[in-house]
Amino acid sequence: MSREVVIVGGSAAGLFLARTFAARNLPVRVYEGAPSLDPEPRTLIVTSRMRDILGPLESGSIVNEITHFELFTNGRSATVPLRRPDLVVERATLIKGLAESAKAAGACVLPGHRFQELSSDGNRLALTVERASGTETVHADVVVGADGAASRVARTAGWPRQQTVPLLQAIVKWPKHVPHDRVRVWFVPDDTPYFYWLIPESPDRGVLGLIADDGSKVRADLDRFLAKQALEPMELQAARVPLYTRWIPIHKRIGESDVYLVGDACGQVKVTTLGGVVTGFRGALAVADAVLDGGSGGEMRGLRRELDRHLLVRRVLHGFTQDDYSSLIDLLDAPARTVLATTTRDEANQMLLRLCVRQPRLLLLAARALLTRSAFPVRDA
């Protein structure tokens, strides 16, 4: 008998997983608490790995392609050309497209169904779901929490609460002197241990934003940096992003049934950049492998290694001073830039190994920061 699956949360990872299940003829329902599948717009940048995973499913969500990164700190700069362009994605369009694809494959996508709690009768899982007409109980053999950093599925199934940080970005008119196939990144550790970014959506507009440890000052920091760049905010986009501080097991056995987490619900986010689109899709593939084929765990082990490498880099960068970033830019000579140009940030293992071979002095810079100044993870803001 085919097992029935319920996915809680109409996230990109959840909908991609629903489509994968439905394409293999597994009965699957997606419960989304919002009254309609109309998520808030947010501009994202991802590597070409998303195109490799989604194929035609990405059609329509990509609004621009990036061929160069420009890095700035304290009067220094470095430009890195990309062999394979990065992709600028409109998150709302991506989610809507994935929902349509999931439905076309046979998945049942149900907005206006807010998950409340989870229990088991020993054989099957029982989900309490609130809808406009009242509360109902539905049953499933497999439940997947794809409901974000504050996952209610995770909480009711006994997973620990995640740490999150604020992301804030402003839509701006694109500056005419900057080519619209380039992303700019500024390292300003006095403001944020992460970075500021300027990403073009089109020749006419883009987004400037940051991630911060301290939510109480993120708006003031953004406003000050916008003024410094002579840019006027037209609209703001905000989110809370989970911090990957350690690997979170994605599976629990409850009675005779299974509960999984995917994407932001279990912190499948690259903590160097706080990007989670590609890693969320990889997490979905791993869950699909486990449910459909009793998987070997290869995809999940690979994802864990990737996230752990990003965690190591974040622990280094979190202790960087302005002088450290200046040294970093100075060390990005032609061989090091070639590594960054040909290896994406979704290939952290390869990138770190090749960088250390091409520019060994990066190891000394990293070791000093890691041993003397790193302060990661941070307390939730």
Report residue 186 CA to chain centroid gap.
Answer: 20
- In order of their start, the domains of the chain are 5-42+91-162+244-297 (3.50.50.60), 65-90+163-242 (3.30.9.10), 310-372 (no CATH)
For the chain, helix (H) and strand (E) counts, in that order, are 11, 17
Asked whether the beta carbons of 365 and 327 are under 8 A apart, the reply is: yes
Distance CA 164, CA 211 (A): 11
pLDDT (mean) for 52-57:
88
Query: Per-residue confidence at 379, pLDDT binned at 50, 70, 90?
Result: low
- pLDDT for res 1: 46
- Determine what percent of the chain is predicted with pLDDT higher than 90: 87
pLDDT (mean) for 26-32:
97
Give the predicted TM-score (pTM) of the model.
Answer: 0.95
Tokens of residue 247, six digits: 């690997």
Q: Report in angstroms the alpha-carbon separations of 243 from 119, 274, 378.
A: 28, 7, 9
Query: Residue 3 CB: number of other CB atoms within 10 A?
Result: 16
The residue ranking higher by pLDDT, 319 or 148, is: 148
Q: Report in angstroms the alpha-carbon separations of 368 from 81, 371, 379.
A: 29, 5, 23
pLDDT score of 246 more than 70:
yes
Average the pLDDT over each of 1-5, 62-66, 101-105 and give the range with the smallest value.
Answer: 1-5
- pLDDT for res 371: 83
Query: Per-residue confidence at 374, pLDDT binned at 50, 70, 90?
Result: low
Instruction: State which H helix or E strand residue 31 sits in.
Output: strand 28-32
The residue ranking higher by pLDDT, 374 or 162, is: 162
Three-state DSSP class for 263?
helix
- pLDDT for res 245: 94
Tokens of residue 318, six digits: 């979190």
The residue ranking higher by pLDDT, 278 or 60, is: 278
The residue ranking higher by pLDDT, 110 or 375, is: 110
pLDDT (mean) for 100-116:
96
DSSP annotation of 68:
E
Read out DSSP for 304-332? HHHHHHHHHHHHHHTT--HHHHHHHHHH-
Distance CA 94, CA 214 (A): 29
- pLDDT for res 294: 82
What are the residues facing 68 on neighbouring strands? 81, 182
Three-state DSSP class for 356?
helix
Query: Per-residue confidence at 58, pLDDT binned at 50, 70, 90?
Result: confident
pLDDT (mean) for 183-198:
96
Three-state DSSP class for 159?
coil
pLDDT (mean) for 355-368:
93
- pLDDT for res 298: 87
pLDDT (mean) for 121-145:
93
pLDDT score of 9 more than 80:
yes
- pLDDT for res 159: 96
Tokens of residue 295, six digits: 């998987």
67: nearest Cα among 52, 90, 86: 86
- pLDDT for res 312: 93
Query: Per-residue confidence at 290, pLDDT binned at 50, 70, 90?
Result: very high
